[in-house]
Structures are given as structure tokens and as C-alpha cells.
Amino acid sequence: MTSPLCIALLDDDITLCAFMSEVAQTAGYRTVTAHDGRDLSTLLAENPVLLVLDLAMAHMDGIEVIRQLAMARFSGRLVIVSGHSAALLQSAKLLAELQGVRVAGVLTKPIRAERLLALLQAPELLTVTPRTSPVISLDDLARGIENNELLLHYQPQVRLADGAWVGIEALVRWQHPQHGLLYPDAFIVLAENGGLALPLTRKVIELALNECVCASDALGFTGTLSINLPPVAMTDLSFPEAVVAAAAKVGCKAEKIMFEVTETSVPPDVAKALEILTRLRLKGFALSIDDFGTGHSSLENLTHLPFSELKIDLGFVRVAETDTAARLIVESSISLGSELGLSVLAEGVENEALWRWLRSAGCALAQGYFIAKPMPLEQMADWRVEWDTRRLALSC
């Protein structure tokens, strides 16, 4: 007998969650519930075909949960629930869709059983294939980090004006002994929720610094190395000294290293985050605001924190040609970045039309599959030869 499809419910209102769970069970589903966004990975481990999500929760708001769903490449559908205005629900829906999360509908509180049932009985739900990626345990991840199973792929960043190669972003992968090569969507959320984000980051920094020194020797690469930082790095006061020491050990200059933080990953203790980020800046490291546009306090963070680069989220860039709202977000991010003196990079540049449009819109830098997919460092020399030819054809 096949087990019934699973519906996940995430709402900090315990009574409402119990009510929705009962409705879903009446409709023949199995349910899992949680009342805190930090328990998202537990819900996803059940492979739900639908997640009912409350936008306003105490510890982690629904917008942050949506970002994590996008990162985990959630293959089910989402129902967004809120007591706020219909306009807010619609913008949350747009935000989810721009990040590639499929939305089955929105529900305004108070929730009526018939409306929820109608969404649960939509025929598309039965066609959703639950995610089949392996379920990883925290112990396994700790072991993998310890056993040096993490490795890095690098994605080039180039200047739109002339195609010059100016940087690389280090993106972590895990060569798992049983499951093969795993991408961040399979383990980053687990690392962040399970207290392993700092050990993972230390390993990534160590690997990236060593490999980058090799790259500059072997490839003559003189650009910047970008490294993603998890929120917890901005709560660790010893972090700036630790990276200075790591960089000095391999003889890498701080100016060549850029730390990427996402808007939503700035932790609640803004004062501490500000202290750590400012100290990183003072020590010469560059700071980039990653996934710009998906957070909720964009402007506030930008003016308070010492950033040098703004990376426009790929969810907006990829659809900028066809979606008016996304195009406006990209255009206004470019002008905002320029006004604040930041260098603006567009992520997710997937085709030549986007490349040309971004160049004419005044964007400075680009990263995306059109230029190159992330790759092991060994493939970079071949890519550079191929790119140099393509650059010319782009009349850069």
C-alpha cells in the first residue's frame, strides 16, 4: 500500500495548525506540522506535496522561509496564509514565484475549511513528484566536513563592458561516499539549523584560499575571490581575526577576498553584525550583498552596513525580459547601487539577450550560465580560452 501524500503546515498559531491539519486529513492526506520556521528542514524531510505557510511568525518570517524553500529547490507547491492585506499576500506570492517556488494559492485569515479544501483537492497536487534527494543527517554532515569531503566549484564573474574576467565565486559541494556529488540545496539549510555552518565555512575558506593561490600561479588570475557567509559568521566576534590569519597563512591579500552575505541573513543582533562586518572592511576585505531584492530591509541594510558590491538576485534577472515587475526591480537595483557607490553584479545571466540588456541598463558585472556554469578549478583554463573567443563575438 502506498502511503498517503503529505501536506506540511507551518504556522505559529497552534490551534489554527491543528484545524488545518484536520481538514487535510479529512481530504485523505497525511500531515506534518511545525510552529517555527527554524523547523523547516524537518518538514521538508517528509517530502510534502504542499506546504501551507503563515507569513508572520515569531522567530522566522514567511519571506525567509520562502527563500529557504527556493534554496532547497522545493518541488511541492506553496499556499501562503496571512492575516495581513491582500496586497501583501500578492507580493509574497510574486516573490515566491520569482524565486522558482510554485504557488498553489493564498488564503486570508480567518481560514475557512471550504477554501482550504478547494486548494487541497486541486488535481495538480496529485501530479507533484515528491523530492527524491537523499535525507542527510546532521551526524553524517559533521562526519563529511571532518573527513574533508567538501569541495568547491567556481563560477566566473565578468565585466559587462568588455567581458574581462574579474572574479570567481566559490560554491560548496559535498562528495558524499554513498549519495555522490551533493549541491548546497541538500545540506546548507541543515548546516545552518544544526550548528554546523561555522565549521563548514571554515573548511570552505581554507579550501578556497589554497586553491585561489594555485589559480593565481597557474592561470595568472588576479581577480577577486567571493565566499558566501552564513548568518552565524556575523555573530562570531573572532571571525575577522580568523580569516586574517587564514589569508596570511597562504599569502593572499585581503583586498582580493569578497564576503557575500544575503540581506535576510543579517542576524537579529544588528549591532554585532555591524561590528563584525565593519572590522572585516577595516582589515581590507570586500563585502557583497547577495540575493539583493529578496530581503525585506534592503535599504536599511545598505545604508547601515559597509558594502562594496550589490548582487541582484538571479530570480529577478532570469525573468527580467518577460516580467515587468522583475525588470523594474533589476533597473531600480542598478540605479540604487550606483547611487550608493556600489559595484552592481547581475546573477543568473543565462542568455545573450539578457547580457545585452543588462549592459545597456548600466549594470557593471555579470555572472551566470551564459558566461559559465560553476566548475572545478582545473576546468578554468579551458573556459578562459573559450570565453576569450566568445567575448570578441559579443563585440566587447
CB-count burial class (<10 Å; 0-12, 13-18, 19+) for 70: buried
Distance CA 52, CA 142 (A): 31
Minimum gap (Å) between residue 311 Cβ and ligand C2E: 7
CB-count burial class (<10 Å; 0-12, 13-18, 19+) for 360: exposed
- 184 binds, options ligand C2E, Mg ion, none, Cβ within 5 to 8 A by partner type: ligand C2E
Q: Which residues bind ligand C2E (CB under 6 A)?
A: 71, 155, 171-172, 183-185, 188, 201, 204, 228, 230, 260, 290-291, 314, 347-350, 367-369, 374
Q: Which is nearer to Mg ion, 140 or 313 (CB)?
A: 313
Q: Which is nearer to ligand C2E, 16 or 261 (CB)?
A: 261
- 163 binds, options Mg ion, ligand C2E, none, Cβ within 5 to 8 A by partner type: none
In the three-class reduction of DSSP (H, G, I as helix; E, B as strand; rest coil), residue 180 is classed as strand
Distance CA 214, CA 211 (A): 5
Distance CA 67, CA 73 (A): 10
**Residue ranges in 221-260 that form contacts with Mg ion under rule CB under 5 A:** 228, 260
Q: Which is nearer to ligand C2E, 41 or 155 (CB)?
A: 155
Q: Which is nearer to ligand C2E, 56 or 242 (CB)?
A: 242
β-bridge pairing 286-292 and 309-312: parallel
Minimum gap (Å) between residue 16 Cβ and ligand C2E: 32
Q: Which residues, listed in sequence order, are joined to residue 30 by a DSSP beta bridge?
A: 6
Q: Which is nearer to Mg ion, 11 or 347 (CB)?
A: 347
Contact 259, 287 (CB under 8 A): yes
- 223 binds, options Mg ion, ligand C2E, none, Cβ within 5 to 8 A by partner type: none
Q: Which is nearer to ligand C2E, 75 or 201 (CB)?
A: 201
Distance CA 244, CA 222 (A): 19
Q: Does 309 bind Mg ion (CB under 5 A)?
A: no
Distance CA 67, CA 371 (A): 25
- 172 binds, options Mg ion, ligand C2E, none, Cβ within 5 to 8 A by partner type: ligand C2E
- 230 binds, options Mg ion, ligand C2E, none, Cβ within 5 to 8 A by partner type: ligand C2E
Query: Residue 110, preceding bond cis, omega within 30 degrees?
Result: yes
Q: Does 291 bind Mg ion (CB under 5 A)?
A: yes
Residues contacting 283, CB < 8 A, separation 6+ = 240, 243, 244, 254
Stretch that binds Mg ion, among 234-242, 291-299, 363-371, 377-385 (CB under 5 A): 291-299
Q: Which is nearer to ligand C2E, 29 or 307 (CB)?
A: 307
Minimum gap (Å) between residue 13 Cβ and ligand C2E: 30
What grid cell was written down for 379?
A: 576546468
Q: Which residues bind Mg ion (CB under 5 A)?
A: 228, 260, 290-291, 347
